[in-house]
Structure 1
Amino acid sequence: MRRRTSWTTRLATVCALIAASAGSGAAAHRPVAVVDWSDERQTIDGFGGSFAFHKAGAIQRLGEPLTSQLLDLVFDDEKGIGLDIVRVMVGDGGTWGDQLYDGPTQTIEPQPGVFVWDQPDWPARKAAFDAHQIWLMREAKKRGVRTFMASVWSPPAWMKQNNSVVSSGPDGPPNKIRPDLYQAFADYLAEYVLGYEREFGIRITHVSPTNEPEVTTGYSSSQWTPEELRVLVRDHLGPTFARRGVDAENVLGEGVTFDERFALPAVTDPAADAHVGVVAAHGYAGLVDDATRAAPGAFAASHERGKTIWQTEYMNQGAPRDRLFVNNTITDGLRYANLIGNLFDETRLNAYFWWWPVANNGADGSDLIRLVNTGTPQSGNPTENGQYRIFKRYYTIGQYSRFLDPGDVMIGATKTPAPGVALTAYKGGRDFTVVVVNNNPTDVTLDVDLTGGFPRTREVAAYRTSASENMTRLRDVRTHDSSFTATLRARSVTTFSSASLPALPDRKDVFSTYPVEENDGHSPGLRVTDDIATGVRDGSWLRWRNVNFADGSAAGFADQKGQLRLHTTVAPRAGGVIEARVDSPHGRLVGTTTVPAGDGSAWQTATTWVDTTPGAANGFHDLYLVFRGGRGPLFDVDQAAFSD
């Protein structure tokens, strides 16, 4: 079987390598990454997420203290991953198409020239208007967010050729704005920005006139051609914002494919380009190499003109992907860590967005944190039960977003210092951040040379997400002669930062692995050496604290609840029984499996179904593996892991 190096052994190795002379044989063969403080690239605008279709309402309904805890997990740098940008939906008066989304969105202009805040009943209606999104934006603002982007899925129905915010089908009128109402649409968006600041104290900093302009479907949508967007911005939206003193930047594009096609006519027309602040696109097509990098030249014209580029929506999409348990593991997390680094490096991206950071959702693909609910999208409006799932992608995206702030600058660095290793670097003020992704199945030891006038620092903080770790705060790494050496764990993301942040709370999840050397306690007499537990006898046990089983399902679908299995890697000796228990060595039994006798030379996997009913492996519990059997050593133990 594959051998891992224990945490203490790895740390000792790192310290020894740092202390070794630069001319030693070991150092001469280590890969080296050079990070150049003076090589300034693009400015980072931040990391964002959407709360469209009333998703903030589910967070509100949880109640305190859970509501604040989840908001902190999303927006707070010290308690969470520090997202910087909130993307909301410009309400259009329409509905998504089912009750899961809490009904229709509200529009500021339900009929021509009639704005809600100009009506006599506005004081009575104001508190309930767009309440979920406004509450969310205010809470994000309390936690330091200053960038708010509003995207239009559809203009109000009365502006449309089909008099609807959704598609009228292949035989119906076009799902497009009426050509004679471009100016009305521009006035509508100007009034939206001015009204939200005046009425709610929310400054909308960016406005996108269209979300996925090539899409026409049964939820709010409206089609545009690239040429129509050029005319809109040049002749209506830009001049109207200027005339009315609206300082929000126009975000143009937001097509399904990650390229500039929907902004291209505008950015190549100087009269229109003057009104384009950001060129944006989604990531659902146009990504290559297993969706970890952009197609070459995707934003060539935008780069030539110095435009800011944002990726404003992406997620794991589609039932086949959602239903694969692997997409909830470090495999999925590494995919997004690689993608972010590649987009910043190759596309000179300025901002990266996820779809829903927190959502009451029927599957695990759309969210960074999924709120467990009591139903399904087809059953009406599911009710949250207070449980939640945090996915590996939350942590691997956070390996960037928690440490990078708006205004930081990407700096030059050796992108691939070793096969399977990807590195990017950033600076802000006198602080710096280096993010390294090790895609290899084995550890890699790396030298990092800091050149180009780096501020002197004696040590850097280190944080890591791996198969078994969730942004774990490691021991600080000492620098020596403007360089440091670190061992990168197999299949992990490590962030090195000159600025120190506290460790996040220890929340384990069923998507992690549980190596024996990372246990949180074990019975007397059990020996954990060389990555394995030996001396396993009748009554021995291992413990891992604070494991989040949530609702017990492995992939989030209602029809998969309870389908959770535990796998323990063992080398049989006398053989025996492995009991999975919660909360204590004598706690509730949630699974049991028998290990046959052997000679201790062959590793195998012992598997058991897990009881996920309330009171068992459901919600947060300490996990215990308790070992039973006859006399003598029963087996050696390497690790535990869960799957569907």
Structure 2
Amino acid sequence: MISISGSGNAVYAAKNPQSPENVSIVYWNVEKQKIDGFGGSFAFHKGGSVMRLDEPVRSQILDMIFSKEKGIGLSIVRNMIGDGGIDDWGDSHYDGPTETIMPGPDKYVWDDDRWNKDEFDKYQIWIMKEAKKRGVDTFLSTAWSPPAWMKKNKSVIDTGETPNKLDEDMYQQYAEYLAAYVKGYKEHFNLNITHISPANEPELSTSYSSCLWTPEELNTFVRDYLAPTFKKEKIPSKIVLGESMEFSENYVLPALNDIKTNPYIDVVAAHAYQGLLDGDTTPDPDEFARSKELGKTIWQTEFMNQGNDKQTFENNTITDGLKYANLIGNIFDVTGVNAYFWWWPAANNGADGSDLIRLVNDGSDQRVAPTENNLFRVFKRFYTFGNYSRFIQPGYKMIKADKHPVNDVLITAYKEPRAGNFTIVAVNNSPENQTVTFKLKDFPGNTGAVVPYRTSASENLKKLDAIKVNKQQFSMELRGKSVTTFIPEKFQLPALPDLKDVFSSYLAYENNGQSPVLQVKKSSEGGKMITNLKNGSYIRYTNVNFADGSANGQADMRGILSMNARVASNGGGKIEVRLDHPKGKTVGIMEVPKMKNPRKWFTVSTMIDTNPTDGAYGLHDVYLVFKGDKKKNMFNVSQFGFSDGKLVQATKTE
């Protein structure tokens, strides 16, 4: 079997037919649910984090989020319906998560001659329009809270006294408010709000915008007020209900079981914070039993790495990427969801775990004066999320595939029925490479070849060489701990722009240039190594994004970065970490001691100088320069990696 690791357009035929237990049959004619797309939110002014960036970084981030040619192709934007209240930090000058269209009874902002249209909700409107330019036409607007004047406690947040709830006498006003929001955004901003959700996490009352609802109250509101108002006002937006923290349909059951309300529920939505055990990526198949029985559309509309224990270096690496690749595959297959959302696709905030892309700030208090500095950190989950979202667009249908052809491998498949395009996603959770044969049963026409796109510890949605399809089947050796997406060669997408990061490992032989004297050989540990190192020889990696020089983006870890190398030593020597040239700035030195056993592999490491003037800060080419005695065999090296200040130093006695 040929292992595919290149990036050109050559077509390789598979060899050595695999045994039946390594076969996944993909059934074109066994259709499951329709896919509505993949989305993300920009609530709480996070569109402004992108808007404030300078060009060309601003367009680069927008393309990375929304373009399937240059990024991961998100197809849905989730917005926050403004309530006009204060935020959870109590800043009196702050005008709330975003402005409300109705600051008082019968008082719409656009009826005021002093209304500043250009400033109103400008961050969300700007991000929606930028998404629209890149092909997005689905916009979900969710209310965290009605305006304060409609509520029992006259506040958009929990005040600790009067219940944080909508006044029952205001149900009709609130329904008219949501209808006016849809009409107003179309009239004044030319934006079609395709979906409306009246309540975000209705079981939660907090110090930020929130409002408590019971399931029965939501049913009453939709049945007697929202749906009739939308019908009367001819509002085209679909009604999304639920969005509870628990990944279940419990908050929607009264509405689903009410024969008057049920027809008006277009989407049953939930978040994934509760109901899945920590680390478990397989949901309960019965959590949405009634929704599926009624043929309802199901969306998972919010999830992220939440909690201080998730804000670690490891939770930004392939370990985390695989977690979400498994969760997405299972949530489509087991639950039958039609759309999957991340929380903030790109944002400036205080925790890595909230984002797919973290926009770095200059250290100022981002709650009061958020200041981006045009640096950004891209996490592995961005790419494994993209293994799905880039290649599965709205209108695709999930189709049956043999899910576990071999231990630790998860296979899911999707098709675009009209054009004959398809997507197969293979997640290999094993640290070992595993070969799988894919049989394309009843697929239309003759698929000549498929193109794989792989995310692994050392790769970021890398476009690989095409694989020839013989008699409607093909095989590939799936790299250990990787996610690989296959699409037909005739529908191939371009390779993403080269961008490396500190969350990846760097295989020594998969470099972007090396001294001619260096050789690649098999390693006694398995895999491959670089050998025949000479004094002054080097290998190079291009376009490494150090961002602010941190492995862990939390404030107390800012600028802390270490680097390590896996080596087997004879005479020993040094590995100099240099920037942009073999004689460029040295930002770290790894000492490789002389060893008695030259076949024993071990790890050496160094702290990296990340100062913003001439250190490992921003984008750089990295040169690993080998130094040692010119007359002695120095050492061999297999891979490099980064960490959050953890040093491992070998001793001469090993």
> What is the TM-score normalised by the length of structure 1?
0.95
**1:110 maps to which residue?**
103
Q: Which stretch shifts more, 236-245 or 56-65?
A: 56-65
1:609 maps onto 2:601 in alignment: no
Q: Which runs of 5+ in 2 are unaligned?
A: 523-527, 645-654
**1:490 maps to which residue?**
480
Q: In the alignment, residue 232 of structure 2 is paired with which amino acid?
A: R
**Residue 51 of structure 2, aligned match among 42, 56, 60:** 60
**Secondary structure class of the residue paired with 2:326:** helix
Distance in 2 (CA, whole Å) between partners of 1:41 and 1:373 is: 44
**Residue 360 of structure 1, aligned match among 348, 354, 362:** 348
**2:621 maps to which residue?**
622
Distance in 2 (CA, whole Å) between partners of 1:94 and 1:395 is: 36
**1:412 maps to which residue?**
400
**Secondary structure class of the residue paired with 1:472:** strand
Q: Give the CA deviation at 1:605.
A: 0.5
Q: In the alignment, residue 448 of structure 1 is paired with which amino acid?
A: F
Distance in 1 (CA, whole Å) between partners of 2:21 and 2:218 is: 52
Counterpart mapping for 1:445-456 below 5 A: 445-456=435-446
**2:648 maps to which residue?**
none
**1:580 maps to which residue?**
577
**Residue 393 of structure 1, aligned match among 368, 378, 381:** 381
CA RMSD of aligned residues (A): 1.9
**1:346 maps to which residue?**
334
**1:425 maps to which residue?**
413
**1:481 maps to which residue?**
471
Q: Report if aligned partners of 2:7, 2:463 keep a CA contact under 8 Å in 1.
A: no
**2:25 maps to which residue?**
34
Q: Report if aligned partners of 2:364, 2:371 keep a CA contact under 8 Å in 1.
A: no
**Secondary structure class of the residue paired with 1:449:** strand
> CA 1:8/1:114 → structure 2, altered by over 3 Å: closer, same or farther?
closer
Q: Report if aligned partners of 2:7, 2:465 keep a CA contact under 8 Å in 1.
A: no
> CA 1:289/1:561 → structure 2, altered by over 3 Å: closer, same or farther?
closer
| CA deviations over 1:169-189 (Å, ceiling 9, x no partner) | 2xx000000011101100000
Q: In the alignment, residue 619 of structure 1 is paired with which amino acid?
A: G
Q: Give the CA deviation at 1:97.
A: 2.1
**2:562 maps to which residue?**
565
Q: Give the CA deviation at 1:302.
A: 0.6
Q: Give the CA deviation at 1:617.
A: 0.5
Q: Report if aligned partners of 1:564, 1:612 keep a CA contact under 8 Å in 2.
A: yes
1:291 maps onto 2:277 in alignment: no
**Secondary structure class of the residue paired with 2:105:** coil
**1:503 maps to which residue?**
495
Distance in 2 (CA, whole Å) between partners of 1:188 and 1:51 is: 21
> CA 1:536/1:102 → structure 2, altered by over 3 Å: closer, same or farther?
farther
| CA deviations over 1:391-433 (Å, ceiling 9, x no partner) | 1000000000001111110001101111100000000021111
Q: Give the CA deviation at 1:593.
A: 2.2
Counterpart mapping for 1:273-292 below 5 A: 273-288=262-277, 290-292=279-281
**1:520 maps to which residue?**
512
Q: In the alignment, residue 325 of structure 2 is paired with which amino acid?
A: A
**Secondary structure class of the residue paired with 1:271:** coil
Distance in 2 (CA, whole Å) between partners of 1:271 and 1:8 is: 57
Q: Give the CA deviation at 1:555.
A: 1.2
Distance in 2 (CA, whole Å) between partners of 1:461 and 1:149 is: 33
| CA deviations over 1:428-478 (Å, ceiling 9, x no partner) | 021111000000010011100000243321001110000000000000110
**Secondary structure class of the residue paired with 1:231:** helix
Q: Give the CA deviation at 1:562.
A: 2.1
Q: Report if aligned partners of 1:281, 1:312 keep a CA contact under 8 Å in 2.
A: yes
**2:544 maps to which residue?**
547
**1:94 maps to which residue?**
85
Q: Give the CA deviation at 1:277.
A: 0.5
**2:173 maps to which residue?**
184
Q: Which stretch shifts more, 88-97 or 229-238?
A: 88-97
Q: Give the CA deviation at 1:86.
A: 0.3
> What is the TM-score normalised by the length of structure 2?
0.94
Q: Which stretch shifts more, 463-472 or 269-278?
A: 269-278
> CA 1:514/1:6 → structure 2, altered by over 3 Å: closer, same or farther?
farther
> CA 1:427/1:608 → structure 2, altered by over 3 Å: closer, same or farther?
same
**1:234 maps to which residue?**
223
Q: Which runs of 5+ in 1 are unaligned?
A: none
Distance in 2 (CA, whole Å) between partners of 1:29 and 1:504 is: 35
**Secondary structure class of the residue paired with 1:579:** strand
**Secondary structure class of the residue paired with 1:585:** coil
1:131 maps onto 2:122 in alignment: yes
**1:437 maps to which residue?**
427
| CA deviations over 1:521-574 (Å, ceiling 9, x no partner) | 111211122210111121111111110010011110121012111010100110
**Residue 534 of structure 1, aligned match among 517, 520, 531:** 531
Q: In the alignment, residue 154 of structure 1 is paired with which amino acid?
A: S
**1:43 maps to which residue?**
34
Q: In the alignment, residue 349 of structure 1 is paired with which amino acid?
A: V
**Secondary structure class of the residue paired with 1:295:** coil
**Secondary structure class of the residue paired with 2:530:** strand
**2:647 maps to which residue?**
none
Q: Give the CA deviation at 1:377.
A: 5.1
Distance in 2 (CA, whole Å) between partners of 1:424 and 1:360 is: 33
> CA 1:68/1:523 → structure 2, altered by over 3 Å: closer, same or farther?
same
**1:143 maps to which residue?**
134
Distance in 2 (CA, whole Å) between partners of 1:8 and 1:327 is: 26
Q: Report if aligned partners of 2:12, 2:465 keep a CA contact under 8 Å in 1.
A: no
1:80 maps onto 2:80 in alignment: no
Q: In the alignment, residue 581 of structure 2 is paired with which amino acid?
A: S
Distance in 1 (CA, whole Å) between partners of 2:280 and 2:141 is: 26
Distance in 2 (CA, whole Å) between partners of 1:547 and 1:221 is: 41
**Secondary structure class of the residue paired with 2:406:** coil
Q: Report if aligned partners of 1:98, 1:380 keep a CA contact under 8 Å in 2.
A: no
Q: Give the CA deviation at 1:103.
A: 4.7
Distance in 2 (CA, whole Å) between partners of 1:119 and 1:165 is: 23
Distance in 2 (CA, whole Å) between partners of 1:9 and 1:205 is: 42
Distance in 2 (CA, whole Å) between partners of 1:162 and 1:29 is: 64
Q: Give the CA deviation at 1:99.
A: 8.6
Q: In the alignment, residue 502 of structure 1 is paired with which amino acid?
A: P
**2:201 maps to which residue?**
212
Q: Report if aligned partners of 2:87, 2:94 keep a CA contact under 8 Å in 1.
A: no
**1:591 maps to which residue?**
588
